Amino acid sequence: MDELQHECGIAAIYHLPELPTSKLVPLAGPDQVSRLMPRMLLDLQNRGQLAAGMSTFHPRRQKILDTHRQIGTVIEAFRLSHQDRYEALMKEYAGMAAIGHTRYATCGANDKSYAQPFERHHGCRWKWFSFAFNGQLANYTQLREELLSQTDYHLTRDTDTEVIMHYLSHELSNHVDKAPDLVEVFSKLCSKFDGAYNIVFLNAMGDMVVLRDPNGFRPLCVAQDGPMFAAASESVALLNLGFKDVRSLPPGEMIVIQDGKMRQARFAPKRQTTHCFFEWIYFANVASNLDDRSVYLARASLGQRLAAQERLLNIVPLDKDTVIVPVPDTGKAAADAMAHELGLPSVEGLMRNRYVGRTFIEGQNRAERVQLKYTPLKEVIAGKRVLLIEDTIVRSTTMKVLLADMKTRGQAKEIHVRVACPPIIAPCFYGIDMSTVKELFAPRFLKGNPISTQIQDDMAKELGADSLRYLPYEDISRSIGLDESQLCQACINGKYPTKTGEQLYQLSVNLKSTTAGGRTYELPSKS
C-alpha cells in the first residue's frame, strides 16, 4: 500500500557445452540463449521497475563480454514493443551465457549509471567481469569508508553495488599469474559483508557464479535441463521457461561454471537461516515457490487466519450488506481465502490502473497518485460495509487517502481495515526501503507497548477507518510453514539477525526524535 520498494531481482542463464541437447535451447541456437533473458526478467518485473539490463558472453565476439542496461521497465529497456529494435539488440548481445537484473532504487539515484549489471573492463580476461546484485549491505557505510581511506580509491555512485564491485576487483587483482579459485574469492568477500547479497557474476573467460548469501534473506532458485542452466530470484521465471526441476539454492552456497563444467560449492560456514518473511506476504510473485513454500498458499493461509480472528472479534456483521475487498494486487489471495471461510463475497471494489507510468505518478501529489492508481467501484461498495484486506501498513499516508476516496467516490457505508501482518515497528536494513523508525506508522501509537484493542482503535481513527485489526505475530510463521527461527522478522519484532543490523536499529531509535535526515544505513554508525 505504501509502495514499498524492494532490492531488485537477478537472473542467469548458460548453455553448457558437450551435453545432450535440451528442448529449452532457443531456435536461434546455443550461441543465442541470451535471447531468453528479457523473458526471464519479465517474470521478475515485480521486484524492480526502474531499470533493467543484461550482460552476455560470446568468445567469438569483439566485445567478449558486453552489457546493455537502460532506465525503465523490461519492455522499455529491451524495446520489446518495437520488434526491429528488439531484434537488433538480441543480435548485438547474442551469447551462450547471460546475467540480468531488474532494479528498484533502495539507494542511489534513478539514472542509467545505477542500472545493473555493473561491468568492469580489464585487459586480463579473468579480471574483466560483470555482476548483478540483489539485496543490501547493512555495513555499506563502513565498507565505503574503508575503501575511501585508501588514497587511490574514488567512488562515483552512492550505492553498495559499486562498493561490491571494488572489493571484488581487489580480490581478483591479488592473482597475477593465473585465474583465481572463484569459491575462494567469494569466501573472502563473505567475511567482509554483513547483510543480504545474492549475486550473479560473469567474466570474459565465460566463468559464471550464482551465489546466495549465508543468511538466505532473499530467495534464489536454480534449475538445469541438459546443457541449459538457469537461475532467478523466483521460481516462476524458471518454470515459465520450461524447467521442471526447480530448487532453491541453499544459503551460503554457490553454483560455479568454469571451463564448461558446473559444480555447487559452499563458500561460507553454515549459519541460522533468516529468510525475509515479507517475500511471502508482499514482494514475491504469487505463482512462485520460495524455499519449498508456496507464496500463494502462504497468503491464503493468512486470509484463513484473518477469518478466524474476525469471527472472534464480532465487530462487523457478517451478512448480505458486508463485502470483502482486497487492496490489489497482493491482498487478493488473503481476501479470497478469508471470504471463503466467512461465506462472504470477495469483490473487486478497488480497480488498479496498471498502465499509468511510474514517472507520471511520481509527479503528482499523494491524493492524485492514489486516484490515478486506484478507482473505487461505487456500483460494488456503495452502501456496503467493507472489510478492506491489506497485506501491511508501513507509513499510512496512502491508506488515509484511499479510505477517504472509497467513502467519497465509492460511497462505502463503513470501511473496516484488516491487515494480514502484525504492525511494522522497526526498519529494514536488508533491502526493503523503510530504514528509519520515525517514518513508520505503528511506533507512533505503540510507544514500546504491546498492541492492544485501544491502540488499534486509535490507529483506525487516525486513518479514517471504522475499525482496524492486525494479524497476530505468531500467525506469520504458521502461515508460511517455517519455524520462527528460520525467518527474519526484524521489522515486526525488532530482533535483527546480523550485528550491523542491531547497531543500525539502535541508531534509528536514537534518531527517531531528532530532525536528522537521510536513511539510517547511509549515516555513519558512530553518529
204-234 pLDDT per residue, tens = 999 999 999 999 999 999 999 999 999 999 9
Q: What CA–CA distance (Å, rounded) separates 390 from 4?
A: 13
What is the bridge-based pairing of β-strands 385-390 and 414-419? Answer: parallel
Domain at 488, CATH number? 3.40.50.2020
Whether residue 431 is contained in a domain is answered as yes
Whether residue 404 is contained in a domain is answered as yes
Residues 262 and 307 both lie in one domain: no
Of residues 55 and 109, which shows the higher confidence score? 55
Domain coverage including residue 481: 296-522
Whether residue 234 is contained in a domain is answered as yes
Whether residue 178 is contained in a domain is answered as no
Average pLDDT over residues 184-201: 95
Residues 267 and 300 both lie in one domain: no
Residues 337 and 422 both lie in one domain: yes
How distant, in Å, are the alpha carbons of 132, 159, 169, 456, 518 from that of 108? 15, 5, 21, 36, 12
Whether residue 357 is contained in a domain is answered as yes
pLDDT at 512 over 70: no
pLDDT at 420 over 80: yes
437 Cα distance to chain centroid: 20
Residues 87 and 221 both lie in one domain: yes
429-463 pLDDT per residue, tens = 998 888 788 889 999 999 989 999 999 999 999 99
Residues 205 and 352 both lie in one domain: no
Cβ(114)–Cβ(159) below 8 Å: yes
Cβ(260)–Cβ(16) below 8 Å: yes
Cβ(25)–Cβ(228) below 8 Å: yes
Dihedral of alpha carbons 309, 312, 314, 318, sign: positive
SS3 label, residue 311: helix
SS3 label, residue 55: strand
Residues 366 and 474 both lie in one domain: yes
Q: What CA–CA distance (Å, rounded) separates 127 from 174?
A: 10
8 catalytic, yes or no? yes
Confidence of residue 516 (pLDDT cuts 50, 70, 90): very low
Contacts of 187 (CB under 8 A, 6+ apart): 267, 268
Confidence of residue 357 (pLDDT cuts 50, 70, 90): low
Dihedral of alpha carbons 72, 76, 79, 80, sign: positive
C-alpha cell at 4: 514499498
3-46 pLDDT per residue, tens = 555 569 999 999 998 777 788 888 778 999 999 999 999 999 98
SS3 label, residue 28: coil
Residues 211 and 308 both lie in one domain: no
Domain at 96, CATH number? 3.60.20.10
C-alpha cell at 436: 528509519
Residues 498 and 397 both lie in one domain: yes
Whether residue 118 is contained in a domain is answered as yes
Whether residue 390 is contained in a domain is answered as yes
Proportion of the chain above pLDDT 70, given as a percent: 92
pLDDT at 108 over 60: no
Which range among 319-328, 476-485, 515-524 shows the weakest confidence by mean pLDDT? 515-524
Could you give the number of structural domains in the chain? 2
Residues 253 and 390 both lie in one domain: no
Long-range contacts of 165-169 (CB under 8 A, 24+ apart): 165/118, 165/120, 165/131, 167/143, 167/192, 168/129, 168/131, 168/201, 169/120, 169/127
Residues 304 and 263 both lie in one domain: no
Confidence of residue 312 (pLDDT cuts 50, 70, 90): very high
Q: What CA–CA distance (Å, rounded) separates 504 from 160?
A: 16
Cβ(257)–Cβ(208) below 8 Å: yes
Widest Cα–Cα separation across the chain:
77
Nearest to 48 by CA among 324, 358, 314: 358
Cβ(285)–Cβ(295) below 8 Å: yes
Residues 395 and 259 both lie in one domain: no
Which pLDDT does position 360 carry in this prediction?
A: 46
Nearest to 289 by CA among 198, 223, 228: 223
Which range among 15-19, 131-135, 180-184, 216-220 shows the weakest confidence by mean pLDDT? 15-19
Contacts of 301 (CB under 8 A, 6+ apart): 337, 478, 479, 480, 481
Chain-wide mean pLDDT for the chain?
90
SS3 label, residue 296: helix
pLDDT at 525 over 70: no
Whether residue 165 is contained in a domain is answered as no
pLDDT at 176 over 80: no
pLDDT at 90 over 60: yes
**Beta-bridge partners for 228:** 15, 225
Q: What CA–CA distance (Å, rounded) separates 390 from 398?
A: 12
The burial of 454, by beta-carbon neighbours within 10 Å (0-12 exposed, 13-18 middle, 19 or more buried), is given as: exposed
Q: What CA–CA distance (Å, rounded) separates 444 from 425?
A: 9
Residues 255 and 311 both lie in one domain: no
* Residue 439 backbone phi and psi in degrees, to 5: -85, -10
Compute and round to an integer the Cα radius of gyration of the chain: 24
Which pLDDT does position 6 carry in this prediction?
A: 53
